[in-house]
Each structure stands twice: as C-alpha cells, then as structure tokens.
C-alpha cells in the first residue's frame, strides 16, 4: 500500500529506463527526479501535463499513482473522476501502442473499483514487457488490496529472471518479490532476497520492511528490535515508509513488554497508511489494557472525513476504530450506513461487493466490542475469520482482528463459546511459536478457565 508511494520515483525512473515508446516528445520536459524543488514526483507530473496536456501516459501515471496511493489516501472525489475521464478522452484522440492502451484501461478499471480486472490488464502488459516497472508495482499493490497473496508472489516470480542486474532498479524487484514470498510464509527465501537487495542498496526501505515482517511473523522480537535499530539510519528519511517501519518496531515492543512506555516516534507523513497504522497501534495498545485516552481524538479529525469513501474495507475498519475509540457516534453511524448502501449498490466495485459478507460483519464486530458484547463479536467474527484476508493488507496488519476475536472469546459469558479462546490460542501458538503476546493471552485463558 504504502510501498506504492515509496517506490514512486523508482517507477517513473524505470519508465524512462525501460525506453517505453512514448507518444509525444513530452519526455524531454520531464526531470525524472524526486527533487523537492520540483514538488516531488507529483510536481513533476503536473509540470509534465502542463507542458503537454495530450501526453496520455503522463495522465495514466499520475492517475494511477493517486488511485493506488489512495486506495490508501486521497478521497475518490470529483476531481479525480474527471482526471480519469480526461485521460480516457485524450487516449482516444491519438494512436497509442497496445501497451499504452492497456495502461490507460487498467487505470480506468482500477478507478471503477474492479481491482481483479485491472490486474489482468497489467498482467497482459507484463507478459510482453516483463520489465515494465509501472505494471509490476501497480498490480502488486492492487493484489495487496485484494488479499491475493499468491498472486502478489507469482506475479513477480514470472518476470524476475528478466530483471538482470544491469537493469536499473533491479534490486527493488528483489524487494517486491520478497514481500510476496514473506506473505505466503516462505520466510527464509524472502529474507534472503531482501538481504540481497539491501546489500545493493541499504536505503531500500521496502526490503527493510520485508525483513521487519519476517521477524514479526516468526516472533523474533530480539532480532527484530536489533535489526530496526541497526538499519534505522538507512530508512528513517524515507518519506512514505519510515512511519510504517516504526509501526513494525512498535509491534515488537508490544510483544515484548506489553505496555511500552516509549514508542518509537511515528513521524506521520499524512499518507493514509500512517493514519490506519495509528488506529491499529492505538487499538492494539487498548487491547493490552493501555489507556490511550485522548489519542483517538487526534486521529478522528482525519478519519471522519473518509467515513463515506469506502475505497478499501481495510481502511473502513480502521476509521471505525477511531470513531469508536473517540466515542463519537456520528462518524460511526455515517460510516456504517453508507457502507450498507454501498454494499447494495450495483456495479463491479470489488470492495462494495465484499462489504455484505465480510466488511459489514467485521465493522459490526468492532461496534459490538465497544458496546461490551463479546458474545456478539465472536458470533460475527468466527464465521468470517478465514475471509478477512480478502479485505487486503498484510498478515501482520490484519492480526489486529485475530487479537480482537481472542480477546472477545476470553470475555465471553455464553457457554457455547467456552473453549473458543483456548482453541484459537493453540492455533496461534502452533503458527507462531514463542510469541510473548500469545503466552500472555494463554495465561489469561487459563485463569478464565479456572474461574468458570
């Protein structure tokens, strides 16, 4: 998600390096750098569009970046809608290569919320142009939003051999591949590739991130903490990923000491990823019994603006944590009502289609947890627990919902749910042995059991 923007400059650079057949001479106007004096990549792209408004790939790149980042960030508003329409109109007025046509269609399809179809179009590009970084990264991020973990891995596996070391940015492809391997539990292969990438470019914050995940998934708390500390100087200035890497750092601290008195500074970039990370962190701390007090009031002004977006169910659930945490019924009601409407609307928006079976029960479970109805939480979450992956995000991010289910099961009064917590904890321990957090919950489960 996040990664999307971290690799922004790389993508655009790759576009140029791959020598794509551009339709106009616009290329010469572009300075392909993330030079802040140019306003970063977005500044470059708007200069590019201003210089030649008919340069269709400029539109495809900038719309794609906004949308993909948005899945995580900006609201799908009228302006963006218009930008996509403009891109499509311009594309009809000029002869485009097949590759360019596919890029335009993919971005248009993604904007309509049909992520699987957009991925098919990007994959068509990759079959003929395996070093198209833009198609690679866009599809990778879209798979991430879909929770298509195998595709996230295999999509890169298919093109990986074409990225020979002489091709600029090939080390970043190692990082992208490593993330798909990690999410499908090939931890050793993932760590090996990420380390290779870091040997070439130690500031590759995405490869750092894969290693952070590997330590997280294996409950290697000490190794994780040491790794983050050792590498911090290399990624702390990464504008889009620093905050998320600090979030991973904080996860180790919760594992280790439950109530960390000091959390690493979350230098929020304002990106949506940082907003959902903040919600996730506060929610986890709250489950550990930490009183987070006013902190919810700090995130609510940001999240409440997105109550009606429904761009990603993953984000919706996190926005809801904020309005529930801040005990503000208005954004809670607004989010739930508009999500219900979206779930009943026609169309091919994959998030709206998934809302009925997964998004709404998940959101309702958060509401019930806040309302002190743990039995209802279990009734809602238990039947969908193996489908929550479909709302996207990483295994580590979605673990907040696993934890919620266990906490609710521990609080249950109904005898029907008596052994749910115990069985969930045994499963958790089998998958991720030696987790201090799991051990704490097991101790609690044992106490609850004695009392019954």
State the residues that interact with Fe ion by CB under 5 A: 394
Are the CB atoms for 251 and 278 separated by under 8 Å? no
Q: Cβ 213 to Fe ion, closest distance in Å?
A: 6
Q: Cβ 411 to ligand NAG, closest distance in Å?
A: 4
Please pick, from the candidates 175, 264, 374, 393, the single residue that binds ligand NAG as defined by CB under 6 A.
374
Whose structure tokens read 């743990």? 374
Between 350 and 369, name the residue whose CB sits nearer to ligand NAG: 369
Which pair of tokens denotes residue 132?
């198209």
Between 45 and 408, name the residue whose CB sits nearer to ligand NAG: 408
Residue nearest to ligand NAG (CB): 411
Determine, following the binding rule CB under 6 A, whether residue 325 of this chain makes contact with ligand NAG. Answer: no
Q: Cβ 251 to ligand NAG, closest distance in Å?
A: 19
Helices (H), 98-220: 98-111, 115-128, 133-146, 149-159, 170-183, 187-200, 205-217
Whose structure tokens read 């739930």? 336
Between 347 and 371, name the residue whose CB sits nearer to ligand NAG: 371
Site string for ligand NAG, 389-418 (x = CB under 6 A): ---------------x--xx--x-------
Between 351 and 394, name the residue whose CB sits nearer to Fe ion: 394
Q: Cβ 403 to ligand NAG, closest distance in Å?
A: 9
Helix orientation angle between 395-411 and 313-325, rounded to the nearest 10 degrees: 50
Between 66 and 410, name the residue whose CB sits nearer to ligand NAG: 410
The secondary structure of 378-426 as a DSSP string is HHHHGGGTTTGGGG-S-HHHHHHHHHHHHHHHHH--SGGGTTHHHHHHH
Specify burial of residue 445 (Cβ count, 10 A radius: 0-12, 13-18, 19+): buried
Q: Cβ 372 to ligand NAG, closest distance in Å?
A: 7
Which pair of tokens denotes residue 83?
């930008």
Between 34 and 395, name the residue whose CB sits nearer to Fe ion: 395
Determine, following the binding rule CB under 6 A, whether residue 369 of this chain makes contact with ligand NAG. Answer: yes
Site string for ligand NAG, 93-132 (x = CB under 6 A): ----------------------------------------
Closest CA to 440 of 224, 221, 258: 258
Between 198 and 409, name the residue whose CB sits nearer to ligand NAG: 409
Closest CA to 223 of 214, 235, 236: 214
Q: Cβ 271 to Fe ion, closest distance in Å?
A: 13
Which of Fe ion, ligand NAG, none does 408 bind, CB closer than 5 to 8 A by kind?
A: ligand NAG
Q: How many residues does the chain have?
A: 452
- In Å, what is the CA distance from 140 to each residue of 31, 68, 129, 252? 26, 10, 15, 26
Q: Cβ 101 to Fe ion, closest distance in Å?
A: 34
Are the CB atoms for 155 and 163 separated by under 8 Å? no
Which pair of tokens denotes residue 73?
């960030």
Helices (H) and strands (E) in the chain, counts: 24, 0
Q: Cβ 241 to Fe ion, closest distance in Å?
A: 9
Between 253 and 369, name the residue whose CB sits nearer to ligand NAG: 369
Binding residues for ligand NAG (CB under 6 A): 369, 374, 377, 404, 407-408, 411
């Amino acid at each position: 998600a996040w990664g999307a923007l971290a690799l922004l400059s790389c993508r655009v650079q790759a576009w140029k390096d791959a020598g794509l057949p551009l339709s106009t001479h616009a290329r010469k106007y572009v300075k392909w750098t993330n030079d802040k004096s140019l306003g970063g990549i977005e500044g470059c792209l708007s200069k590019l569009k201003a210089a030649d408004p008919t340069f269709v790939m400029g539109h495809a790149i900038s719309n794609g970046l906004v949308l993909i980042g948005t899945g995580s960030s900006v609201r799908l508003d009228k302006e963006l809608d218009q930008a996509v329409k403009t891109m499509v109109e311009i594309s009809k007025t000029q002869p485009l290569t097949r590759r360019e046509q596919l890029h335009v269609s993919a971005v248009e399809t993604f904007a309509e919320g049909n992520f699987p179809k957009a991925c098919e179009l990007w994959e068509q590009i990759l079959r003929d142009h395996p070093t198209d970084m833009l198609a690679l990264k866009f599809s990778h991020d879209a798979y991430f939003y879909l929770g298509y973990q195998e595709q996230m891995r295999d999509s890169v596996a298919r093109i990986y051999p074409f990225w020979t070391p002489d091709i600029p940015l090939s080390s970043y492809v190692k990082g992208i591949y490593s993330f798909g391997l990690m999410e499908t539990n090939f931890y050793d292969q993932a760590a090996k590739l990420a380390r290779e990438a870091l040997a070439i470019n130690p500031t590759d914050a995405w490869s750092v991130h894969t290693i952070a995940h590997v330590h997280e998934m294996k409950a290697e708390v000490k190794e994780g903490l040491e790794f983050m500390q050792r590498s911090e100087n290399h990624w702390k200035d990464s504008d889009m990923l620093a905050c998320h890497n600090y979030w991973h750092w904080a996860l180790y601290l919760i594992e280790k000491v439950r109530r960390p008195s000091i959390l690493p500074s979350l230098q929020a970039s304002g990106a949506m990823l940082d907003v959902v990370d903040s919600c996730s962190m506060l929610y986890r701390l709250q489950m550990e019994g930490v009183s987070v007090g006013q902190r919810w009031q700090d995130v609510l002004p940001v999240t409440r603006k997105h109550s009606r977006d429904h761009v990603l169910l993953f984000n919706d659930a996190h926005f809801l944590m904020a309005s529930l945490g801040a005990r503000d019924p208005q954004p809670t009601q607004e989010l739930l009502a508009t999500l219900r409407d979206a779930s009943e609307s026609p169309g091919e928006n994959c998030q709206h289609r998934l809302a009925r079976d997964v998004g709404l029960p998940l959101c309702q479970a958060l509401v019930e947890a806040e309302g002190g109805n743990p039995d209802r939480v279990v009734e809602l979450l238990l039947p969908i627990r193996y489908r929550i992956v479909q709302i996207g995000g990483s295994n580590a991010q979605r673990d907040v919902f696993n934890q919620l289910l266990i906490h609710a099961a521990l609080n249950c009064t109904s005898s029907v749910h008596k052994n749910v917590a115990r069985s969930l904890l045994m499963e958790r321990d089998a998958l991720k042995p030696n987790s201090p957090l799991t051990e704490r919950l097991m101790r609690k489960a044992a106490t609850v059991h004695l009392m019954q």
